Structure 1
Amino acid sequence: MRPRWAADLALGLRLALGGGGARTAWARLALTATGVGLGVVVLLCATSLPHMLDTRAERSAARMPVAEAAGGVDPVFAAERSDEFRGRGLQGYLVQPTGPRRPAAPGVDRLPGPGEAVLSPALAALLQSPEGELLRPRFPQRVIGTIGDAGLTGPNELYFYLGAGDVTAQPQAHPVRGFGGEPVRRGLDSLQLLLVVLGATTCLVPVFVFVVASTRLAAAARDRRLAAVRLVGADRGQVRRIAAGEALLGAFAGLVVGAALFLLVRVLVPEITVSAFRGGIFAADVVPDWRLGVPVLLALPVLACAAAVFALRKVVIEPLGVVRHGTRVRRKLWWRLLPLAAGGALVAGRAGAEDARDPFVIAGVVLVLAAVPVLLPWLVERVAGLLGGGSPAWLLAVRRLQLDSATAARLVSGIAVVLAGSIALQGVYARAEGEPPPVGDVRVLATAFVTSVSDARAFADGLHALPGLGGVPVETRGLLRNAAGETVSIVVGTCAELALADCRDGDVHATGEHRPAPGERLWADGADRTSAPQWTVPVAGYHVTDGQGAALLVTPAALAAGVPLSANARIPAAGPDVVERVRNLVGWHGRVSSLGTERDGTSALITRVLSVGSVLVLLFAAGSLLIAAWEQLRERRSTLAALRANGVGRGVLARSLLWQLAIPVAVAALVAVLAGLGLDWLLLTLVVHRPMVVDLATIGLLTATAAAAVLLVTAVTLPALWRTASLAHLREE
């Protein structure tokens, strides 16, 4: 025999499916399941992040070259190269085999020889497409294969292995006898940690807010069903258990819907090609961590039941009907300020901690953001009470808010949390963006690695031939070391370029305190100093010149062939096509850095992913607002039909619906802006000791986005409003 509580829960499940008519019950269940399901998708994706990052790090480490000796393998010389194409990162290795028994790289059948290339599928497709026209000059080699998934961090990564015959002469080239290293997990600095904590909180708090709100959809119909149960003898304890059973069905249905949507997300996620995800995400990597996912998913039904039972605290359900407290009790403010005060105190109490992983800092951020939906009902109630007369649409909206401000506040609380978190997130992001010092007016830094002055001249001629770059100066430098391992920097140029008086070609002018002596032998940086030197400082034509900077100013005739040099050009702001042509000119024997795109990779990934996450959660909040608005129309269909029968026009009802959403959103936006700026000040000023940056344009854009969400929801709900206001609904109780 089943326990009494189990029977009550089962009765709640049956009433949720059949109470009020099968069609209405299933529609109500679908709305609740959709709301909870959206939350489940976000939570499952969030708990998949650890596994996704770990697998990406493991594949990245598996393709890392190692120099340890391996039996039966002929080493290859490899030089890592990184580049960009229209903002997308290019990465790979130049390789030079020394024998037929080449080491095996993950996902590659064999490493390429000179004139051959192995490319990732995304890179091969890009080169074959019209968009890759400016990229093809960098890959003239014959493609002999593609890289498998085991050698890529994502399905859209642009990765390559290029065979060359001169890798040994390239800077940073080293012998490789195998692949596979330990995953490198860099620690995050204080600003990066703040970005992660703020972003995660901003994305997850609205989910729990709406899961609670979803379980309270169709509350009026549920109360009428419970009154009928009381009429046949159920006591108040049974009523609460039956209500929990109804909420439990919606939660379980939401788990099923969420799981199905999550599987759909896994199928679609490899198609994401935005640069925020650094080459995309394999579907196999999106696996929830059961240690995080299981507790979260089990907590959702418990949260749904608790919310359903808590909602009955102000409702008296008796056999003859439902009675809500008739005397309006003004909401208390003091206890609603407790989360805000506690969160601010926790963050302020950790001033100078310099570590956003501090549990007190994380708890403080969560409490401050959670205080937003707690404060909103009180504020909406006070604002609605102050509003007076106006047009009929305004009066209908204000009166509705005065009668039930809590529902309106719940509808917009998710958007308010996202807005507050996004404002704080943008403040920290702006501070992180402001950290790197400006580099004058330079926009592109191009460096070509050469071994002779003639090669440097050829690079300069090719650069000057590009559109708009005819007057860009090119400086040739070198970095050598003496027998003691001390660094010696040289600048190579004509007497005019070096601005030297009493100078002729073949002279060497030594400057600075630590200048090399005539006849001193110099080696390339990293070269074996037991072998022959790359260059010996000439005795004839050696001069000592007052000045600072490079240790030696060398004219072309004084420099021996084979000395490794770099030709450097600082290019002002240029169009994207010009930048790509500069990259093609430099090729893989150098590097091109664009100001603003060469930021720290970890910071770039965090900020981009969180920006995408904020947009997705804002869309989720707008979707939850739409679902709740639809349910409100269903519950009020008799009232709306009565208004329509008494001559209230459709336009008045539509404007009334708009005001009912716009007024709470305006209050929510004000609270969100203040909470976001306050949280921003607490974190930047007290925790990481950075000056606060207020970006009014971004705040305005985020607020306008919230307002646009209200307009969109209103527009989408208009067809449902026309159907709901049909005179046929006058016959419904």
Structure 2
Amino acid sequence: MRGGTSLRLQLVRIGWAAGRGRPGDRLRFWALALASSVLAATLLACVVCAAAYSGRDERDRARGFAWPLKGQKTVLLWQEAQDSLGEISHSVVRVVPLNPELAPPPGLDRWPEPGEAFLSPELVRLGGEDGVRERYGRFGGLIGDAGLASPVERLAYVRPAVAPDPAHAQSWIRAAGYGVASPFGESVYARPLFQLLLTLGATAGLAAMALLVIAARCGSATRDRRGGLLAALGASRGHRALVDIGESALPAAVGTLAGTLPVLVMAWMPIRLPITGYIVDPVYVRAWAVQLALTTVAAFLAVLAVVVLLHRVDGSGRSTRPREFTERVPSWRLYLCGLMISMIVAASLASGRLGLMLFVAGTVGTWATLPSVAAVLSQRLGKFLGGWGRRSGSSGLLIGGRWTTSHPGVVVRLGMAFVIGLGVVSQMQLWNSRLGGGAAEARQTNARIGDSVIMIEARGLTPERVAAFRDGLPSELSVFAIGRTSSRAGERYTLSAGCKDMKGLGLPCSPALTGLPRSAPDRRVDAMRRWFGGDTRMRTVNAVPARPAALVVVGPLGGPSPMAAVKQAGYRELSALQVGGLGEGWLIGAADRARLTNWLLLFGWTGLFFLLLAGGLSAAAEFLRFGPALAPLSVVSGRRRIFGEVAFWHLTVPTALAVLLAAAFTIWHGLFFVSVTGEGSLSWITLVEAVLVALPVTLLIGLLGGVQAMVAARRWRPVAD
């Protein structure tokens, strides 16, 4: 074939017309449109993540305090403390302006008055029942978006009622103003961007690519015959690519534009993401409009490239007959699967970012290539079934076995959804189980005693400050001072309190140092002994020690939580405050890790939804090919039952084999993950439930395939094609 622009346009028009004919072409049109939409949305999600990180870095620089350089004056006293709502921590920033002309930090239209606090909208929304509006002082207003890393950041700016003496404020940071990157608040707990992108790519991204590959191969038999005809007429690879582009350009364009709709909504208004509850600031999205537009174009071109690359025609010159992928599985896929499994093993020998990237790359690569291993096993099974059917005289078994041998690509496309789906479910369960021993014990302690024992750490604890703090507490609460001594054997704690407080816990009053009883009848004493150590001592005192290391507030068991009252009094009277129940640090750490797990759940469930679409499209495409191809059997066989038998042996059995192979790999992969990390546990119940859901689906696929074949047989008439 030779020609200029007119020939190229003609080839594009041929592809344009070819994609809108038979029912299989219409299925492929909508499959490509759906796959293009999913791919565009996934790629744009990656750009939105990068935009959010970039915007947060800019705001961190704008609101971060600046250390004074040589010759600069201190214009601001700055101090950060950590508080929590539930198990999620947030920053409480105490500020004291020393220069009346200094502008307030971003997000505030004025400086807080003494004893006043400005809170972020999310903190006010979630902390209503905990009295967060009054916890840090008088409520002065809300922090604006310009001062928040994201719309859901929990942050408080507080100005103490009594300003510290700048000459003796050792626990305060002396700042020369704002404008230097010194992250605090949400940014401190943010995971690196590459981890978020890895999670997105390994779940939703891989599922989107699987959907695109399956959509590109829908109706492949017709396309391969058309490509073979063009090759026989002398068409080059470029000519055939123009026909493919003409056929797929419209559905790719429609799907890509549809995939941009979620991002357009996010750029227009704040949208709270499910599971994570996170909101991306629309300002961040709009700031990356150019990058989003380029990504949209790249997604469209990627769909066209995949369609062209997956259109295989025999170019050896030995035959004009098109070479179909379904005739054999490329051997390099099997070697690649082994390489990916080796990469997972090698990840255990590396550390840090390299080990994580090796693990993710090996996991994703194995998920992508394991269906090809299942297809090879299905081919061998098909040969056995075909021989068994010939010897036993079972026509359904004979035909089903030979079809499985000749068309292993069906197993690759159908099995891909099950392999990746089981893998994603397993990874979500594993990451969700990484609680840690300390966090698990903290949860048990909280279940036994609730908030009846509260730890308080602060700087500059003096008897006067402790007395003022205690006067602000409800009368039913007791206060114990904690002394801490260090030695080679470790740290030892001493509890000191008045006789009334000791008797409230069933402890004897004695000025001499004695150990906590190992079999205390009070659950609160038992919990303190567990967390402070078995060699913790106690003594009765008439006054607070001069410099206690920390305080413990003990309240009644089973009553309302005293946490809100303790925090309100603490933030009013103490400095650099840290307040929490026993083991709360473990729970906050576990909650921080759970936030990454929530992103995994969001991306994982999204990926599973994409995989369900991929499996449905693959099954629908196979039915359109399977039914008409078996229809002539109605002439040579008077049994309708044969269609169900062939569908069972050709569709159900090989796909079930892929499910079992995926389950075996998932078990090894999960146990390997647990043994290397030392965290989490593989839930056999979850895995068995997933397999028990998948196996009936494979049976349903075979049933629907047999029904489709029977319907096609009733309509079939011989034609001269």
Question: What is the TM-score normalised by the length of structure 2?
Answer: 0.70
1:582 aligned onto 2:577: no
Q: Which of 374, 377, 387 is the equivalent residue of 1:376?
A: 374
| Offset of residue 193 of structure 1 | 9.2
Instruction: Indicate how the Cα distance of structure 1 residues 676 and 489 shifts in structure 2: closer, same or farther if over 3 A, else same.
Output: closer
Q: Which of 684, 703, 721 is the equivalent residue of 1:696?
A: 684
Superposed, 1:426-437 pairs within 5 Å as: 426-427=429-430, 430=433, 433=436
1:476 aligned onto 2:477: no
Distance in 2, matches of 1:647 and 1:585, equals: 84
| Offset of residue 584 of structure 1 | 5.2
Equivalent residue, structure 2, for 1:56: 56
| Offset of residue 354 of structure 1 | 2.1
Equivalent residue, structure 2, for 1:246: 244
Q: Which of 665, 673, 679 is the equivalent residue of 2:663?
A: 673
Instruction: Indicate how the Cα distance of structure 1 residues 108 and 625 shifts in structure 2: closer, same or farther if over 3 A, else same.
Output: same
Equivalent residue, structure 1, for 2:454: 446
| Offset of residue 35 of structure 1 | 1.6
Amino acid at match of 1:373: P
Equivalent residue, structure 1, for 2:579: 591
Q: Is the 8 A contact 1:476 1:492 kept in 2?
A: yes
Equivalent residue, structure 2, for 1:494: 498
Superposed, 1:107-126 pairs within 5 Å as: 107-114=107-114, 116-124=116-124
| Offset of residue 622 of structure 1 | 0.8
Q: Is the 8 A contact 1:118 1:161 kept in 2?
A: yes
Query: Secondary structure of 2:349's partner?
Result: coil
Q: Which of 142, 150, 160 is the equivalent residue of 1:154?
A: 150
Superposed, 1:707-722 pairs within 5 Å as: none
Equivalent residue, structure 2, for 1:217: 218
Q: Which of 609, 612, 615 is the equivalent residue of 1:619?
A: 609
Structure 2, unaligned runs of 5 or more: 516-533, 572-577
Distance in 1, matches of 2:439 and 2:508, equals: 42
Q: Is the 8 A contact 1:167 1:173 kept in 2?
A: no
Q: Is the 8 A contact 1:79 1:174 kept in 2?
A: no
Distance in 1, matches of 2:426 and 2:341, equals: 17
Superposed, 1:235-634 pairs within 5 Å as: 235=234, 237=236, 241-242=239-240, 245-246=243-244, 249-250=247-248, 253-254=251-252, 257-268=255-266, 270-274=270-274, 276=276, 279-286=278-285, 287=288, 300-309=303-312, 335-349=332-346, 352-357=349-354, 364-383=362-381, 401=404, 404-424=407-427, 426-427=429-430, 430=433, 433=436, 438-439=441-442, 441-443=444-446, 446-448=454-456, 451-453=465-467, 455-456=469-470, 459=473, 461-462=475-476, 475-477=480-482, 491-495=495-499, 555-557=541-543, 559=545, 566-569=551-554, 582-583=563-564, 585-587=566-568, 589=571, 591-593=579-581, 594=584, 597-599=587-589, 603-634=593-624
Instruction: Indicate how the Cα distance of structure 1 residues 363 and 155 shifts in structure 2: closer, same or farther if over 3 A, else same.
Output: closer
Question: Which segment is superposed worse, 146-155 or 92-101?
Answer: 92-101
Query: Secondary structure of 2:354's partner?
Result: coil
Query: Secondary structure of 1:308's partner?
Result: coil
Question: Which segment is superposed worse, 69-78 or 667-676?
Answer: 69-78
Higher helix share: 2
Superposed, 1:682-693 pairs within 5 Å as: 690=678, 693=681
Q: Is the 8 A contact 2:119 2:143 kept in 1?
A: yes
Distance in 2, matches of 1:698 and 1:421, equals: 12
Instruction: Indicate how the Cα distance of structure 1 residues 257 and 72 shifts in structure 2: closer, same or farther if over 3 A, else same.
Output: farther
Aligned length: 653
1:31 aligned onto 2:31: yes
> Which whole-Å deviations, capped at 9, do the CAs of 1:397-437 have from their partners, x for residues lacking one?
87865663422431331441242355356446645745868
| Offset of residue 95 of structure 1 | 4.4
Distance in 2, matches of 1:631 and 1:29, equals: 12
Distance in 2, matches of 1:625 and 1:613, equals: 18
| Offset of residue 38 of structure 1 | 1.4
Question: Which segment is superposed worse, 55-64 or 371-380?
Answer: 55-64
Question: Which segment is superposed worse, 653-662 or 633-642?
Answer: 653-662
Instruction: Indicate how the Cα distance of structure 1 residues 22 and 236 shifts in structure 2: closer, same or farther if over 3 A, else same.
Output: closer
Amino acid at match of 1:309: R
Q: Is the 8 A contact 1:350 1:360 kept in 2?
A: yes
Percent of aligned pairs with the same amino acid: 19
| Offset of residue 105 of structure 1 | 1.4
Q: Is the 8 A contact 1:16 1:29 kept in 2?
A: no
Query: Secondary structure of 1:492's partner?
Result: strand
Instruction: Indicate how the Cα distance of structure 1 residues 330 and 309 shifts in structure 2: closer, same or farther if over 3 A, else same.
Output: closer
> Which whole-Å deviations, capped at 9, do the CAs of 1:666-717 have from their partners, x for residues lacking one?
32332223323434455665xx5748843313323444565687799999x9
| Offset of residue 267 of structure 1 | 1.8
Distance in 2, matches of 1:308 and 1:180, equals: 55
Instruction: Indicate how the Cα distance of structure 1 residues 668 and 578 shifts in structure 2: closer, same or farther if over 3 A, else same.
Output: farther
Instruction: Indicate how the Cα distance of structure 1 residues 281 and 396 shifts in structure 2: closer, same or farther if over 3 A, else same.
Output: farther
Instruction: Indicate how the Cα distance of structure 1 residues 585 and 58 shifts in structure 2: closer, same or farther if over 3 A, else same.
Output: same
Q: Is the 8 A contact 2:272 2:279 kept in 1?
A: yes
Distance in 2, matches of 1:624 and 1:272, equals: 27
Structure 1, unaligned runs of 5 or more: 464-472, 482-486, 513-546
Distance in 2, matches of 1:264 and 1:235, equals: 45
| Offset of residue 357 of structure 1 | 1.4
Amino acid at match of 1:234: L
> Which whole-Å deviations, capped at 9, do the CAs of 1:276-308 have from their partners, x for residues lacking one?
36x422244455589999877755533331211
Amino acid at match of 2:17: G
Q: Is the 8 A contact 1:57 1:183 kept in 2?
A: no
